[in-house]
Structure 1
């Protein structure tokens, strides 16, 4: 089982995202519409596992598989949909993961879901603090059990996501 580490927000996370986003843009070229920094490392002040989550948005998700070799050349292991239909998932760093890439096709509900969650936490710092505190508590409680950590934060994350989606649609 992987260790669970939740750390205080690091100012270098946006720059780590920008570096990877540049390489991803070079890989996908015109197939790429946009690249977003998502997940907890994209929310200033939020405690997070030190893994940069990146969400490229592409024109055609079926074409992404053609780029597996180029993604491997910049350090990413392709995992296919990895449990989420319509997504392509890549990870970097092996057991000491440093980056996750979640690729969606333009218009996929996954794009809206991730952007709503991120933007809601960015504009509601009291909710972000509550979420960060829960993650830190769970990391302390389950330092060697990622599944229990994920299960423990799932309910709060789903509650935040529902509020975020409603908020996002009204903004």
Structure 2
């Protein structure tokens, strides 16, 4: 089967299968430091309100893009449209324990530097603080909010393989209890070890990366993307 030439939502399967390279942290541009302390590294039982909180954040984002923000580049040449707002991460998977943080992928028609004056003021108006710019990683932008709970907002441009990887992983966990249980166990073990060693969130994420790749590979095979 010649899968590399196939497209999934406009993204070549070959790009989706390619594991992300480790990006030099020095390439990330720090815009600001959090005005509110981030959530603690703790895995909690699933909360039935998490989907409602996602909808709250989604509604705020949509409303901010509909409203006129003169400071946000109203000229048509700089206009940005929303292509997708997706609930991802563990809080998007029913019954899965998670850190109490809503993760969102916001996909824009363009998120590169020339378009920031259009979309960043709108996201700030929606209650998000702009924290990090990562041009080397699919032009990723990272923002955070804290009400009604902690939220990590990941901003991407169109046809981004990272967005597809997040979607595939989420959908697989929603449908496969065995991998959901494996991931829950891994998260708890990694969080406990990272707390014991005094590590931060990035080190916790790296600890569970091997299991994430195993689960993702099973999803890719089931979808016919890998033999």
TM over 0.5: yes
Deviates more, 1:105-114 or 1:67-76: 67-76
1:10-159 matches, within 5 Å, as 10-29=47-66, 31-62=81-112, 63-78=115-130, 79-81=132-134, 84-93=137-146, 98-143=150-195, 144-146=198-200, 147-159=202-214
* Structure 2 unaligned spans of 5+: 1-37, 67-79
**When the two structures are superposed, what TM-score results if normalisation uses the length of structure 2?**
0.66
* Structure 1 unaligned spans of 5+: none
**Larger proportion of helix:** 1
2:49 and 2:213 map into 1 onto residues whose CA distance is 28
**When the two structures are superposed, what TM-score results if normalisation uses the length of structure 1?**
0.85
**DSSP 3-state at the match of 2:86:** strand
Please report the RMSD computed on the Cα atoms of aligned residues, expressed in angstroms. 2.4
1:132 and 1:151 map into 2 onto residues whose CA distance is 15
Report the structure number with the largest CA radius of gyration.
2
Aligned residues: 168
Shift of 1:113: 0.7
1:65 and 1:132 map into 2 onto residues whose CA distance is 39
